[in-house]
Structure formats: C-alpha cells, structure tokens
C-alpha cells in the first residue's frame, strides 16, 4: 500500500490517497484537482476524520466524478455532512451540504472495514475536537488522526461542540496506538516540517 499526502488550499487541511493493486481510498476531501492525479485506478471510497468544512468541502465534486462511492464516518459526522451550520461552512463563502446522503456509511466504534486485499481499516472514535472525530487505523501501521492529534500542536477544543476532557483522553489513546504506527494528521505537523 502506498500513501500520498495532499495539503489543501482551505486552512492547509490534509487529505490522503491510499493505493494498492490499482485501487484507491481517500482520507478527507478538500481540493479534488490535487487528489485526482494521485488516485490510482478505481476509487473505492472516502473516510472522513471529521466533518469540519476544511476536511469535506470537495466531496460533492468528488462524488460527481465517482458517483455512489461510500463515505465512511460516524453518526455525528453524518449530521455534519448534512448541516452547513454543524460543519461551519455556513460561515465561509461556499456553504457545503452533501448532495447525496445515501452514500454515507456509518461505521461503529472499533468496527473494521476491508479496504484492499489483506488490508482492513478500523474506526476508532476519538471525540473531543468534535464528537464526529474518528481516527482511522489502517492495517497495523497507519493512523489517520484528523484534528484529534497533530504532533506538536495542541488539540483545538474551542468549537461549540468540543470537549476538552474527551480530547485529552483521545490524545492519550492515540499516543498509545502510535507506538506501533505512523501518524498521518489532519494538518501538517510542525514537527515534521522541522525535520524536512
């Protein structure tokens, strides 16, 4: 499996493309034009780390190109995809509401979904930044943490539905998991860029 990072134009959110054997999955969806060249073969679906605007705004464009692919999230994420108030896009120039709610697939906490031959993803609910936060653990080696954990940055908990205590518990849990895995955060980590 190969993993590619895209830094989007809105708030420098990160999207990722995972490819193996001529198929791809995407984690979070911002600028579709940046993602398209990285998508190898068939696009199988999208995982959403949380439904804040900067992590989802490209979804309608993407789904117009790849109709019907599933969008994996939790119940709170579903609400955010369908409310420009909850996903905060109402306060931007381009309010976003998912045009095709039927593609939403709710994944339970700890539930596994097969991505590729021999590669599963496990949903790990990591609320705090927002109740819709899911960390996606792909195989044993990759953690897509969204805004629940960005190495070198404090988790932002001043949104209307944030919970600072939950965010701390989620951070601690992600840190445990990260002993055996690489973290792919929802925005570029200042620690990574120092090392480059």
Residue 89 C-beta: closest distance to Zn ion, Å: 12
Report the C-alpha gap between 42 and 71 in whole angstroms. Answer: 15
Quick one: 116 or 144, whose CB is closer to Zn ion?
Answer: 144
Q: Read off the tokens for 93.
A: 């120039």
Q: Shortest CA distance to 186 belongs to which of 59, 19, 50?
A: 50
Nearer to Zn ion, 1 or 10 (CB): 10
10 Å CB burial of residue 184 (0-12, 13-18, 19+) is buried
88: left (phi over 0), alpha (psi -120 to 50) or beta: left
Helix/strand number for the chain, H first, E second: 5, 11
Nearer to Zn ion, 13 or 24 (CB): 13
Pick between residue 55 and residue 137 the one whose CB is nearest to Zn ion. 55
Q: Nearest approach, Cβ of 6 to Zn ion (angstroms)?
A: 16
* Beta carbon nearer to Zn ion, 43 or 86: 86
Number of residues located near Zn ion, criterion CB under 5 A: 2
CB of 163 to Zn ion, least distance (A): 13
Q: Which residue is nearest to Zn ion (CB)?
A: 52
Per-residue x/- marks for Zn ion, 114-153, CB under 5 A?
---------------------------------x------
Helix (H, G, I), strand (E, B) or coil at 170: helix
Furthest C-alpha separation in the chain: 42
Please give the residues from 47 up to 106 whose contact with Zn ion meets the rule CB under 5 A: 52
Q: Is 171 in the site for Zn ion (CB under 5 A)?
A: no
Residues that bind Zn ion (CB under 5 A): 52, 147
């Amino acid at each position: 499996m190969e993993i590619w990072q895209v830094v989007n134009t809105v708030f420098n959110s990160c999207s990722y493309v995972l490819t193996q054997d001529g198929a791809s999955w995407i984690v979070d969806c911002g600028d579709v034009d940046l993602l398209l060249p990285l998508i190898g073969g068939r696009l199988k679906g999208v995982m959403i780390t949380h439904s804040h605007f900067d992590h989802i705004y490209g979804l309608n464009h993407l789904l117009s190109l790849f109709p019907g692919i599933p969008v994996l999230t939790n119940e709170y994420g579903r609400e955010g995809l369908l409310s420009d108030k909850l996903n905060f896009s109402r306060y931007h120039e381009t309010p976003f509401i998912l045009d095709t709610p039927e593609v939403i697939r709710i994944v339970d906490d700890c539930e596994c979904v097969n991505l590729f031959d021999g590669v599963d993803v496990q949903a790990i609910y990591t609320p705090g930044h927002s109740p819709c936060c899911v960390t996606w653990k792909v195989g044993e080696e990759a953690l897509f943490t969204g805004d629940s954990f960005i190495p070198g940055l404090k988790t932002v908990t001043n949104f209307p539905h944030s919970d600072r205590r939950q965010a701390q518990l989620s951070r601690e849990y992600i840190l445990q998991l990260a002993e055996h895995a690489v973290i792919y955060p929802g925005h570029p980590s200042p620690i990574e860029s120092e090392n480059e």
